[in-house]
Chain A
Amino acid sequence: MKSAQIIYKAMACIGVSLLLQGCSDDSLSRAINSPHPAGEDSQQVVYYSSFSQRPKHLDPARSYSADEGRFIDQIYEPPLQYHYLKRPYELIPSTLTEMPVITYTDADGNPVAENDPALAFSTYTLTIKPGIRYQPHPAFAQNDQQQPRYRFADATASAGYRSLADFTETGSRELVAEDYVYQLKRIADPANLSPIRGVLAEYIVGMDEFAETVSEARKQQQESDPRYQQTGWLDLQPFDFAGVQVLGKYQYSIRLKGKYPQFKYWLGMRFLAPVPRLVDEFYHQPGMADRNIVLDWHPVGTGPFMMTQNDPNEAIILQRNPNYHDDRYPSEGEPGDAEHGLLADAGKRLPLIDKAVYRLEKESIPLWTKFLQGYYDRSGIGSDSFDQAVSVSSTGVDLSPELKEMGISLSVEVVPATYYFGFNMLDPVVGGQSLPEAGQPADPEAQEQARERARKLRQAIAIAYSEEDRISIFLNGRGETAQSPIPPGIFGYQQGPEGINPYVFDWDPTIRKEGSDSVGAPVRKPIDVARKLLAEAGYPDGRDAKTGEPLVLNLDTPTGGGAASAQQVWLIKQFKKLGIQLNIRGSDYNRFKDKMRSGNAQLFQWGWSADYPDAENFLFLLYSKNGQVITGGSGVNASNFSNAEYDRLFEQMKLMPDSPERLALIRQMLEIYHHEVPWASGLHLHSYVLDNPWVRNTKPHGISTATLKYMGIDSRMRESLRKERNQPVWSPLWNVGLVVLVLMIPGYQAYRRRQNQRVLVSPTAKGGHN
């Protein structure tokens, strides 16, 4: 009995302390439904956002996805960056004093002109600004002897350091050219699994040789060095990399095979950001990887922010880098930027905020609710909340009155990406590119006939497949039909009647486009044109003219049921317009990839988002040497399209700067694309982003994610609006309590009645009362 009393007292104490915790000063100063800790934004300007998938890689050599880029692009600084406001996209120096100086040489090393046929090498010389310093980090901490503070002989010595926060001492050092060169060596080292190693090895002199040497060295270390077996640490600095040289403390060069104008774009990507050898060594110490203390998880850079918390189970926090160099908000942009207030912060020192907090948010409904409550500053629009957020009318897309009243603004951007419905050109029915059976002589005439039949079949399908309907039904109108692989905003994209696919569309000059003053729009050709083409292809009314058998085509897809099935029903209807039976073969993603790799798919859906804003990065999707089958799955030409003239034009075009001559070549390539129809259709997605009224400088940038430093937040306005939007409503709880109390009264009465019930047992009764 006594022990029971002690337990009751203890429980009461815990309850009271929990209540006190809930009513502490900090707690009272914020709304009770706030998902953020109290006081987090009281002393500094904080940007609140979310992430749905934890970033897999934060090592700049490995990270490729935009989801990861939104974090590490704020931390690492590649040599070049994109101008925040100017369009078309423009590269400018980031850590460089000026744009790279490019020199061209022949095979013997003699200087040659840019267009000289003898050109064998291009050398990029890059000079970095002196005085740029790294963020504070324990890798730079030094002891009294000016040696690295944290060096461990074995795992036992490092056992006390469970996380990066346990390393209490930090240091910094200046950025030097060697750091950029070291990162290029890391990319070249196959052990680092860089996704761009293969691409860059085609161009950078000596990259493959460097990889071979390093791999051999790793093998030897693995066999002989116990420390290596434990840590995997190999110092890459002593290994010679012929194409990459340190020319001085602040200068280095990169030598390319031939000419590769697109290389400048790689210089603006995170892969080529600096990583000091010191940092690499710090993370490769015994026991560190076992506690997830690795570069892939804890980035170290010179950028405007540093990652102070990487707990993807809860939050990822970026804090202003106190050592960030002098960087100013741009003072010029494109027309209209000043009117939109995008130049109000011109000349101010960057970054404009102190901290960015990203919280884990897997579900769309909580994300949307928190945005409306003001706990997230920005939000996309999911399909669940689209109708609540946006109204589509004859004048175009507009915010709903409710959101307008809240001061929320909408920005729409065409994503520099292309999603398409493709044909496998190696398929004998829809492609006609397949080679004759082994041992049988090729019959050029028969092959040409087969190609022509297949081409007409593809054209017929392209006319019948209404991308406009798909965008309207399944994407809430968030997209536009692609007339070519090149999306808007990229050199080579053509608007108006000249830009349409004349084999699929007609230009109607009388249509007025929604929300625009421009007149005229593409109109899909009548279905009868498609039927005629289908008959010419040998399938009148969707049946084989020779056998009378219905034409059955197969769409291979990695998706299953659910929402996908509605789209599949719609797809079947598109083909039914021509009498073609569409068979949808769903499989898991791995099986689907296998089919694509081996050329066994017939129809498929695929997509590509830009690495960089150049037509080459889209037109190479149809370059024959990038075919999925001939490259064993690594190529980007999923259709396996092969056209000698297209290839010739592509090879010529990719070496040219943007110019009228280049545009003419692109037009010729697109004419081939339109005529051959390797894709039935394509679309460019629109991205809709909502901003709460306290957020400024959020101009969408389709290519770069390193834009956090430009964003501004009005913390006071946020605080005030948050309070207004989050008034707690207690009355329902009191009402529920009241109802429970009312219900308890008859219950208590019934209990009392039962307790006081007189039990009369008659002499004839056999059983008692239960």
Chain B
Amino acid sequence: MLAYIVRRLLYAIPILIGVNLLTFALFFMVNSPDQMAQAQLGDKHMDPQAIEAWKAQRGYDKPLFINDAEDSDGLLTDTIFFDKSVRLFVLDFGKSDEGRSIAEDIQQRMWPSLAVALPTFVIGLAVNIVFALFVVMFRASLFDTAAMVACVVLMSISGVFYVFAGQFFFARMWNLVPISGYLGGMDAIRFLILPVIIGVIGGIGSGTRLYRTLFLEEANKDYVRTARAKGVPELTVLFRHILPNGLIPILTSVVVVIPSLFMGSLLVESFFGIPGLGSYTLDAIQAQDFAVVRSMVFLGSILYIVGLILTDISYTLVDPRVRLS
């Protein structure tokens, strides 16, 4: 298995170079270093000397890909692309275009992101599974039909609506939770209740439908029929027989997103004022801060690759028939 993991990690390197190249090309097609400097320095009393100094301080005064002024050694290495990309592979994110340490910012902001994403993920998964199992228990009944209609309705409603409705009722009308914001420590709990509830409700429709399909497939198998024939109670059939076997395909969709939880949610963090990595990325895009955008895209790619590898490994753990080679 170790050889497999090493091989997968080596495969990741060209993927990451490609992602980085693509991000770099796209960003510089929209922004020149001069424009980035102007955006950071502001329009009022723009000083050409300040623009040059800003570029020099951040290494944007070099050519993008090829430095004709250099000999063979510096032809490719003394360029913006090389400067900004190679360091990423040792997780040296450098400084944002505002001049702040990106690594420090990521360290600070990943905790609020996790504080929202982790409970939403865990509770959402549990709720969806339990709800899907109950729907399976009453399959082909009026309850099943009603539940599926409800799921479709829940899926059809925009996430922003849940946010507004939740904020309006829970925070504004009933004064039960703060409408938005974030505080560190245990105070964070009060601010997380509403976003987590909304995150869970928002995911019920699609989650339940998917898991119901998977569980129904299991429910029609011979070993389940045998258990029932032996007189095993329905709840035991569901939770002891169907659930463990139904979890295998669920793993594929679940494990891959676990590492990405660090990256936060753009929507929830933005509307609830939670200072996580999702809002960090959004702010950077709005401020045209290429250094931050590039770092976050790179980090997201790494986490996705790690997620895929973890998925493969988890297969071997839950299904002894699968072997990595």
Give A residues with C-beta under 8 Å from B. Answer: 18, 21-22, 31-35, 37, 54, 56-57, 64-65, 190-191, 193-199, 211, 289-292, 294, 296-297, 311-314, 359-363, 365-366, 369-370, 373, 588-590, 593-594, 611, 632-634, 636, 726-730, 732-733, 747, 750-751, 754-755, 768-770
Contact = CB atoms under 8 A, between A and B. Distances in A.
Closest CB pairs A-B (n = 9): A313-B275, A198-B47, A366-B180, A729-B174, A590-B35, A35-B181, A35-B178, A634-B46, A366-B179
Nearest to B97: A56
Given A366-B273, A755-B234, A728 B181 contact: no
Given A56-B98, A190-B53, A191-B57, A363 B175 contact: no
7 contacts: A21-B189, A292-B100, A314-B183, A362-B270, A370-B179, A634-B45, A770-B225
A234 to B, nearest CB: 13
A197 B50 contact: yes
B26 interface: no
Contacts of B173: 729
B162 to A, nearest CB: 14
B1 interface: no
Nearest to B287: A56
A751 B137 CA distance: 8
B45 A21 contact: no
Contacts of B54: 193
Contacts of A747: 134, 138, 143
Contacts of A22: 189-190
Given A191-B57, A366-B167, 17 more contacts: A32-B190, A35-B183, A54-B283, A195-B44, A195-B46, A198-B50, A289-B101, A311-B108, A312-B275, A362-B279, A369-B172, A370-B180, A373-B175, A747-B138, A751-B234, A754-B137, A768-B229
A125 B42 CA distance: 32
B213 to A, nearest CB: 16
Contacts of B40: 56
Contact of A313 (B38, B53, B112, B191): B112
Interface string B114-144: 0000000000000000000010011101010
A290 B101 CA distance: 5
Contacts of B30: 588, 590
Nearest to A725: B175
Contacts of A64: 42, 44
A193 B273 contact: no
A54 B283 CA distance: 10
Interface string B129-168: 0000010011101010000000000000000000010010
Interface string B79-116: 00000000000000001001111011100110010000
A32 B171 CA distance: 10
Interface residues of B, number: 74
Contacts of B288: 590
B177 interface: yes
For B48, B175, B182, the residue with the greatest tally of chain A CB atoms inside 10 Å of its CB is B175
A760 B9 CA distance: 59
A209 to B, nearest CB: 14
Contacts of B316: none
A190 B50 contact: yes
B324 to A, nearest CB: 28
B45 A196 contact: yes
B187 interface: yes
A314 B53 CA distance: 32
B211 to A, nearest CB: 19
A191 B53 contact: yes
B253 interface: no
Contacts of A199: 45
B100 A37 contact: no
Contact of A633 (B46, B181, B183, B187): B46
Interface string B36-74: 001111111111111001100100000000000000000
Contacts, number: 179
B320 interface: no
Given A191-B57, A588-B30, A593-B38, A33 B46 contact: no
B99 A296 contact: yes
Given A32-B175, A190-B50, A369 B167 contact: yes
Contacts of B279: 362
Contacts of B189: 18, 21-22
Given A37-B183, A728-B174, A768-B225, A294 B99 contact: yes
Nearest to B36: A590
- The interface residues of chain B, by DSSP majority, are classed as helix
A34 B38 CA distance: 40
Interface string B215-242: 0000110000100110001100000000
A366 to B, nearest CB: 4
B271 interface: yes
Given A64-B42, A297-B100, A732 B187 contact: no
For A64, A590, A732, the residue with the greatest tally of chain B CB atoms inside 10 Å of its CB is A590
Contacts of B270: 362-363
B108 A359 contact: no
Contacts of B187: 37
B186 interface: yes
A291 B102 CA distance: 9
Contact of B49 (A198, A589, A633, A769): A198
Nearest to B40: A56
B109 A313 contact: yes
B273 A729 contact: no
B57 A365 contact: no
B190 A190 contact: no
B282 to A, nearest CB: 9
A200 to B, nearest CB: 9
B11 interface: no
B306 to A, nearest CB: 25
Nearest to A372: B172
B138 to A, nearest CB: 7
A290 B104 contact: yes
B167 A365 contact: yes
Nearest to A296: B99
Interface in B288-310: 288
Nearest to B185: A37
A719 B3 CA distance: 65
B27 to A, nearest CB: 12
Contacts of A728: 174-176
B4 interface: no
Interface in B256-276: 270-273, 275
A727 B175 contact: yes
A634 B173 CA distance: 50
Contacts of A312: 275
Contact of A361 (B103, B138, B181): B181
Nearest to A634: B46
Contacts of B182: 313-314, 360
A632 B48 contact: yes
Contacts of A35: 178-181, 183, 191
For B50, B186, B271, B288, the residue with the greatest tally of chain A CB atoms inside 10 Å of its CB is B50
B49 A634 contact: no
Nearest to B188: A314
B181 A359 contact: yes
A589 B288 CA distance: 11
Contact of B186 (A21, A34, A294, A726): A21
B184 to A, nearest CB: 7
Nearest to A198: B47
B118 to A, nearest CB: 14
B42 A195 contact: yes
Contacts of A190: 49-50, 53
Nearest to B46: A634
A736 B297 CA distance: 42
A33 B143 contact: no
Contacts of B43: 593
A18 B192 CA distance: 13
A370 B104 CA distance: 31
Contacts of B99: 289, 294, 296
